[in-house]
Amino acid sequence: MMARNPAPTSERRAYVNARLFDPARQLDQTGGVLIEDGVVKWMGDAVTRTSLPEGTNITDVNGALLVPGLVDMRVFTGEPGSEHRETLQSASKAAAAGGVTSIVIQPNTQPVMDDASIIDFVRRRAQDTADVRIYPMAAITQDLDGEKMTEFGLLKEAGAVAVTDAVRSVRNSKVLSRAMKYAGNFNLLLVQHVEDTDLAGGVMHSGESATRLGLPGIPAAAELISLERDIRLVEMTGAPYHAAQISCAASLDVVRHAKDRGLPVSCGVSINHLTLNEHDIGAYRTFFKLSPPLRREEDRKALVAGVADGTIDVIVSSHDPQDADTKRVPFSEAAFGAIGLETLLSAGLSLVHSDQLSLERLIEAMTDAPARLLNIPGGRLEQGGNADLAIVDMTAPWVVDADLLKSASRNTTFETRALEGRVTETIVGGHSVYKLSDH
């Protein structure tokens, strides 16, 4: 929808000898994919080097994993307003390098995406400059003030796929209940950052580590109170609701209970919270200052189990580029956030390799689940669908080097980490937008 599209090509290209893997369709077989006019023309075990028509540009991937291109529904960019941190183009290159073919960008830009004209601007910029599909979320309230609703209908017409106040939680229950009702009427998902602002206040998980470091803490209750209140409002309004990221074990019980009652509630978790804990902060490493904060190891394990059992619907990178001005300062003054598009899948695969999570759940939570929640195309491997694909060498070892990442910012939580599994090629609308061998 919104990727830079060179003239549609009638070139036929195919990837053969792949492990075709799509949890949404319970597909796991050796085979190939034929792409024509940007869509998947033919796929399956019958697609082999010999069965393809003459003149097809064929790539043999030697048994590599071929999955639907990832859909990342929580990505922050700096465009408009902070282009020195990230542009739509640099974010799209980072996404492509991580096998992410659709990114959903957050509205806390400067100016805030609270007006149809800004959504329109971002869409056009994406069309002109980006290599992957970019979908904007619009603000729930004007200038993210938490008080005055934005024009959900016009924003949706302009291309907004959901509404959220990004890193802010709508604090006023009356405003939120109205926004829920109103968004539900336009069939727009309302996405909330779950945090009780008054209780949160701090800069890392509240507990022994924070006390030893002399840093003000953010208690788990700050998330729970917000989440529980929001779910009461969902009960009242019946509108679909998504908690952008949860970070505590206890939040899983809250979400599970809401789902058991049949409420239209879903939630996400960031890859950071599935693979890191509060101790990674070490001696005031600001790249690990995240919102919500990294919590205890027990929480991390519970979150992984929550993805495994489906309580958590989606995994996001929560890619948030920050530069030295906002990160090379004392911890309590530093900005929250870490980049993550390029390491999303590899970090996720570390959970698979260590038998903490199945490949099916990992891929589903990064492809079909977010696409269905937002009602956007993609996230599946199917004939007639967009040819948005990622090819992954499941066992390729690599060491993350921030200087080699494509993002315009360097604030990765995975610097110098050894990861296993890497995207070797990313295809968007039939075009190869990233090849590891070229880099």
Partner 1 sequence: MAKTSSAPRPFVKSSNLLSIADLSPTEIGALLDLADTYADDTRKGSKHGKVLKGLTQINLFFENSTRTQSSFELAGKRLGADVLNMAVSASSLAKGETVLDTAMTLNAMRPHLLIVRHQSSGAVELLAQKVSCAVINAGDGQHEHPTQALLDALTIRRHLKRLEGLTVAICGDVAHSRVARSNIALLSKMNVRLRLIAPPTLLPSGAENLGTEIFTDMREGLKGADVVMMLRLQLERMNGSFIPSAREYYRFFGLDQEKLAIANKGALVMHPGPMNRGVEIDSIVADGVQSVIREQVEMGVAARMAVLDALSRNLDTSSKAGS
Which residues would be at the binding site for partner 1 (CB under 8 A)?
206-217, 219, 283-284, 325, 328-333
Nearer to partner 1, 214 or 262 (CB): 214
| 277-310 CB burial, b ≥16 within 10 A, e <16 | bbeebeebebbbbbbbbbbbeebbebbbebbbee
Query: What are the tokens at 220?
Result: 């788990």
**Least CB distance from residue 283 to partner 1, whole Å?**
6
Q: How far is CA 172 from CA 177, 179, 202, 258, 374, in A?
A: 9, 11, 21, 21, 25
What is the C-alpha separation between 270 and 160, in angstroms, rounded? 22
* Least distance in angstroms from the C-beta of 337 to partner 1: 18
Output the smallest distance, CB 343 to partner 1, in A. 24
* Minimum CB distance to partner 1, residue 86 (Å): 21
Tokens of 366: 């990064």
Alpha-carbon gap, residue 88 to 243, rounded angstroms:
25
Residue (95 or 222) nearer to partner 1, CB:
222
Give 116 or 203: the residue with its C-beta nearer to partner 1.
Answer: 203
Distance CA 301, CA 180 (A): 32
Q: Which is nearer to partner 1, 263 or 334 (CB)?
A: 334
Least CB distance from residue 409 to partner 1, whole Å?
17
Of the candidates 60, 146, 43, 153, the residue with the CA atom closest to the CA atom of residue 424: 60
What's the rounded Cα separation, in Å, for the pair 144 and 411? 25
Name the minimum Å distance from CB 413 to partner 1.
17
Length in residues, the chain: 439
- Return the residue matching tokens 């019980």: 253
Q: Quote the tokens at residue 98.
A: 């991580």
Closest to partner 1 by CB, 146 vs 207, is 207
- Our CB check for partner 1 shows the closer of 206 and 386 to be 206
Residue 382 bridge partners (DSSP)? none
Nearest approach, Cβ of residue 320 and partner 1 (Å):
20
Of the pair 232, 328, the CB lying nearest partner 1 is at 328
